[in-house]
Amino acid sequence: MGAGILDCQTTLKASVSLSGVGVHTGKPVSIQFSPADADTGVTFHVSKSGEQAGEIRALFSEVGATDFCTVLGNPAGLHVATVEHVMAALYALGIDNVLVEMDGTEAPILDGSAAAFVDAFDQVGLEKQHVSRRYIRILKPVRVEQGASWAEFKPFAGTQFEVEIDFADAAIGRQSFSATLDADVFRRDIARARTFGFMKDVERLWAAGYALGSSLENSVVIGEDGRVINLEGLRYPNEFVRHKMLDAMGDLALAGARFLGSFRSYRGGHKLNAAVLRALLSDSSAFEIVETTRRERGRSIEMVAVNAPVFAPWSL
């Protein structure tokens, strides 16, 4: 790991705002990202006329539901839903501390990807904070299986994601994608991958109160004939698995820090991502907290263990 901004925590240089609709609620919402102090992490401030308002920290201990999206807080009370695309963009670009203010309870879906968030953060730029960034280093394998699906963490010199999906539908089929976490790789290969769904599931989702804001403008839709019905087609030949990786990055960002290791999943989703993260953070022998330090002799930079919390995400 090189010196410079990657060794320190970062925040945004200025505030930036976006507006859209929630993919599940169908309601309009505005979201503003503002600079925050070092060691404060990502905090959502939710306010809505006539409803409960307050702050929710973007930590795994706050996960309240993982059915069709990741929800922080109490789904029946104070909460913020569909945070995974926001968190993936913050995580991949290395933004540690930010205040996220919303006038609704679900993050805007925008075009169904993380691209607009990335563009917004690039527009204002990052501010280096002179406080060391801490990481969660994986020390031993941790694996969770749910039927035919599984996910695992393993030690690795860096941060790597390997995701594989397997759908019976011919439009998707079996796809795999791997990437080492890097801001440029995320911008180019992952950020633009959109959420997707099946036309045959629409009525069921509507009846359950989900996907009320879903449209061809924010989702890749697979029709009854098994074909993608969006006129523009796919942004990547394997856009489906790339979006699953985007979701995984956002879900795992709730650890409160980047991890150093390899994450692999097969037929995963929000529920499985949460389960393997819980398994990891529940086992204190499976990880350690490290930070970059420059040795007094020479110019070498090393990762050393520190006896300090990140944002205490494992207070389960």
Instruction: Phi first, then psi: give them for residue 309, nearest 5 degrees.
Output: -75, 160
Q: Return the SS3 of 146.
A: strand
Chain centroid, CA 165 distance in Å: 18
What does DSSP assign to residue 117? H
Q: Are 235 and 219 in contact (CB under 8 A)?
A: no
Positions at the binding site for Zn(2+) = 85, 243, 247
| One-letter identity of residue 158 | G
- pLDDT tens figures, 221-264: 999 888 999 999 999 999 999 999 999 999 999 999 999 999 99
What does pLDDT average to over the chain?
Answer: 91
Angle at 159 between CA 153 and CA 162, to 5 degrees: 60
| CA atoms of 68 and 24, how far apart (whole Å) | 9
Q: Three-state SS string across 27-88, please?
A: CEEEEEEEECCCCCCEEEEECCCCCCCEEEECCHHHEEECCCCCEEECCCCCEEECCHHHHH
Q: Would you state the pLDDT for residue 256?
A: 93
What does DSSP assign to residue 152? E
Q: Would you state the pLDDT for residue 315?
A: 42
Residue-range domains of the chain with CATH: 5-305 (3.30.1700.10)
Q: Would you state the pLDDT for residue 314?
A: 41
Token look-up 């999206």 returns 69
- Up-side HSE of residue 113: CA atoms within 13 Å toward CB? 25
- pLDDT tens figures, 72-103: 999 989 999 999 999 999 999 999 999 999 99
Lowest mean pLDDT among 56-70, 254-268, 292-306: 292-306
End-to-end CA distance of the chain: 31
| One-letter identity of residue 77 | G
Say whether pLDDT at 49 is over 90: no
- pLDDT tens figures, 121-141: 999 999 999 999 999 999 999
Q: Would you state the pLDDT for residue 208?
A: 80
**Within 10 Å of residue 163's Cβ, how many Cβ atoms?**
25
Say whether pLDDT at 158 is over 90: yes
* pLDDT confidence bin for 206, thresholds 50/70/90: confident
| CA atoms of 280 and 57, how far apart (whole Å) | 20
What is the pTM assigned to this prediction?
0.91
Q: Produce one character per residue of 78-108: b if its CB has 16 or more CB atoms within 10 Å, e if not.
A: bbbbbbbbbbbbbbbbbbbbbbbbbbbbbbb
- Kindly list the distances between the CA atom of residue 161 and the CA atoms of 171, 181, 246, in Å, as whole numbers in the listed order: 23, 7, 10
- Give the mean model confidence (pLDDT) for residues 201-206: 80
- Kindly list the distances between the CA atom of residue 139 and the CA atoms of 2, 101, 253, 293, in Å, as whole numbers in the listed order: 22, 36, 18, 19
Helix (H) or strand (E) holding 276: helix 270-281
Enzyme catalytic residues: 270
Positions at the binding site = 85, 243, 247
| Alpha-carbon Rg for the chain in angstroms | 19
Q: Would you state the pLDDT for residue 3?
A: 37
Task: Of 68, 44, 64, give the one whose Cα is nearest residue 54.
Answer: 44
